[in-house]
Chains A and B, each alone.
Chain A
Amino acid sequence: MTAGRGALIATAAAATGALDLLAHPHGDTWWHHLAGFDLVYGFLGCAAIVIGSKALGKVWLQRRERFYEDTEE
């Protein structure tokens, strides 16, 4: 995607982050009280999942297609 789209997304995301200033947090944990927590969590989480999974895949899990067929019955 183009940088333009990226900028659009970033603006929308920031806007939602601003909503946090208006809201009353519910929940007991400390992180609920941070503004924009979910935004950051979403971004980092996405990265973590993608990078982590890809790493797992490369190191261990991914094989060529028809991996089972070639060696099975």
Chain B
Amino acid sequence: MTPHPALILFATAVLVGLSRGRVRAGLLLAGTIAALVAAVTLPHGVHWGYAVGDYQLQLLRVDPLSHFFGLIFTLIMAVGALYALHATRAGEHGATLVYAGGALGVVYAGDWVSAFVWWELMSIASLVVVWSGDTDRARAAGFRYLFVHVAGGSLFFAGLAVHLSGGGPLEFGPFGETHGWAYGLILLAVAVNAAIPPFHAWLADAYPEASITGTVFLSAFTTKTAVYVLIRVFPNSDLLLWAGVLMALYGVVYAVLENDIRRLLGYHIISQVGYMVAGVGLGTPLALAGAAAHAFCHILYKALLLMGAGAVMTATGRRKLTELGGVGRQMPVVVALYFVGAFSISGVPLFNGFISKSMIITAAGDEGHGIAELLLTLASVGTFLHTGLKLPYFTFFGPSRGLRPTPVPANMIAAMVVASICCIGLGLAPGWLYARLATTVDYHPYTLDHVAGSLQLLGGTALGFWWLLGTLKGEATESLDTDWFYRKPVPEVMAWLVRAAAATGRLAHAAARWVVQTAAGYAANPLIGVGRLVTGASDGALSPYDENRYRFPIGVTVLWVVLAVGLLSLLIG
């Protein structure tokens, strides 16, 4: 029986929760590697089909695209698990495993309903990962995250309901020609998870607040699962193309203003996902392949970058550029590994970003979208500027602030090494990646023209960086983003709503109470009350009913009984 990689991860989660120490670490690694092996060896086809009511569910559908994504998801889970071996909270391990399992569930789902169920599971699991940061900021950010993702889930739910009740196919795939409500609602839901502006603010808000080890996982799954859905369901859309270009630049602009190193990297996630979204929007085979390839590579190098940032935070206890500087000499290994990630994201030849990002940019050029091509290239400039130049300069080099970094745990270094090997390996042998893509492409990144162009771009950027160095140092500020909309006005609207609803209730209460009290006054002594009503007199409070005053004498009752019997017998007889 073919094992579903997600189930392997769930089983690992249970086992990890029940064990401690070395055993737990061993189980964690074993489980995640087992899932990776499962993902690699899964045969193509549909397995695990169930009929529920009128619906035919497919829980494990393996085709080239899902195989591809399953591969990278299980790989990064294993790497992240290695990085997180030292984390003590069992809940965090469990949450990340369930989170990854949910992502795998969506990837391997063959029908919409299953996809939705796994999607919701991911929301909850990732929420728990955010809360694992265990600070007040983490708690608050987690609630906002919850709000956004439940809203997105509801949109997905609504779109699904419309789609299915309109007789749409259950098969998880493109919508065809008609783009009705179902298309729009689900696209919106996916856009939230993909962090397409203006629905992106949750990412930079929540990701930096999770624990050091948790953020690595967060960066990998939610956004890339959304990209997977986009590739599968929404290719070829001008809207997405320009949304992607906008995203790419948006992230870069905000990153200039960022001071917290993980928030800066978070905005870069938005930027890089923009490339993938643009590729989906372009819709050509090269572009779609580029989007998938870029997702693969991005997961690797972004995790590496966040691991590096996490290592710095673990060693120094600092996360802001204004508080860091000059620690490079004491952490050479971390610096080197970090730069592998930085070169990858910047598209330096020989590293994996080079082979994937350029597919999208070239595809844009091939389709005649010159402006898009230029803008995406511009975003590349910005990316190198921040992750390759600004962040490392102000963290590792530059004026020292007298920080004394403590040694970084060995497992974190090991995980970074693994990720680096993958990045460099892919950069050196792109054919391996291209062979596994869903669509076969004939693309050769290592042309002289291309390499030269990339190097020039990087060189020019470096020059610019040197020239503007003074203005680039971090500032201790916070930037407004679209989350302002629900952080400022919403609490006030909510408070108003609560007051309105409570007031309605109180009004009803007051009315009822008035009725009851007036009635109760009369009920205390109905005889006098009626008498008063009749005569219109009004004296003080009604005295309570005094049973002694009004008790019928027994004789009168006997009289009534006799009269009644007599009357009845007369009538009946």
Contacts and interface: CB of A to CB of B under 8 A. Distances in A.
A–B contact via C-beta, under 8 angstroms? yes
Interface of A: 1, 5-6, 9-10, 12-14, 16-17, 19-20, 22-29, 36-54, 56-57, 60-68, 71-73
A42 B468 CA distance: 13
Contacts of A60: 480
A57 B462 CA distance: 22
B456 A20 contact: yes
A49 B476 CA distance: 20
A5 B479 CA distance: 32
B447 interface: yes
A10 B447 CA distance: 24
Contacts of A67: 478, 480
A29 B459 contact: no
A46 B256 contact: no
A49 B480 contact: no
Nearest to B205: A68
Contact of B385 (A27, A46, A68, A72): A46
Contacts, number: 175
Most buried by A among B455, B469, B480: B455
Nearest to A73: B491
B448 A24 contact: yes
B378 interface: yes
Nearest 6 pairs of A and B residues by beta carbon? A42-B460, A46-B464, A13-B459, A53-B256, A38-B456, A43-B460
A54 B448 contact: no
B448 A23 contact: yes
Contacts of B467: 6, 47
Contacts of A68: 478, 487-488
A63 B480 contact: yes
B253 A29 contact: no
B467 to A, nearest CB: 7
A43 B477 contact: no
Nearest to A43: B460
A20 to B, nearest CB: 5
Interface of B: 140, 252-254, 256-257, 362, 365-366, 368, 370, 373-374, 377-378, 381-382, 385, 447-469, 471-472, 475-481, 487-488, 491
A36 B455 CA distance: 10
Given A1-B469, A61-B479, A63-B480, A13 B378 contact: no
B260 to A, nearest CB: 10
Contacts of B479: 57, 61-63
Given A38-B453, A65-B476, A72-B491, A46 B459 contact: no
A14 B374 CA distance: 21
B275 to A, nearest CB: 16
B296 to A, nearest CB: 24
A39 B505 CA distance: 69
A50 B471 contact: yes
A38 to B, nearest CB: 4
A39 B457 contact: yes
Contacts of B469: 1
B463 A49 contact: no
A63 B515 CA distance: 55
Given A13-B462, A23-B448, A67-B478, A61 B381 contact: no
B257 A61 contact: yes
B368 A62 contact: no
Contacts of B491: 72-73
Given A23-B447, A46-B385, 8 more contacts: A1-B466, A16-B458, A16-B459, A26-B450, A41-B457, A46-B382, A47-B467, A50-B472
A67 B458 CA distance: 36
Chain A contact surface mostly: helix
A46 B257 contact: no
B256 A57 contact: yes
Contact of B478 (A24, A38, A50, A64): A64
Contact of B471 (A38, A54, A63): A54
A57 to B, nearest CB: 4
A44 to B, nearest CB: 8
B455 to A, nearest CB: 4
A42 B382 contact: no
A57 B373 contact: no
A9 B460 CA distance: 9
Contact of A54 (B257, B377, B382): B257
A7 to B, nearest CB: 10
A12 B466 contact: no
B381 A41 contact: yes
A41 to B, nearest CB: 6
Nearest to B378: A45
A49 B253 contact: yes
Contacts of B451: 19
B477 A64 contact: yes
A1 B491 CA distance: 47
Contacts of A10: 463
B449 A29 contact: no
B456 A53 contact: no
Given A26-B447, A43-B463, A53-B257, A16 B365 contact: no
Nearest to B361: A27
B475 A62 contact: yes
Contacts of A6: 463, 466-467
A62 B460 contact: no
A48 B370 CA distance: 19
Nearest to A16: B455
A23 B459 contact: no
A29 B256 contact: no
A50 B256 contact: yes
Nearest to A3: B466
A72 B249 CA distance: 30
A48 B362 CA distance: 23
27 contacts: A9-B463, A9-B466, A16-B456, A19-B452, A19-B455, A24-B447, A26-B447, A28-B365, A28-B366, A28-B368, A38-B454, A39-B460, A41-B381, A41-B460, A42-B463, A45-B461, A46-B381, A46-B460, A46-B461, A47-B468, A49-B382, A50-B256, A51-B468, A62-B477, A63-B477, A63-B480, A65-B476
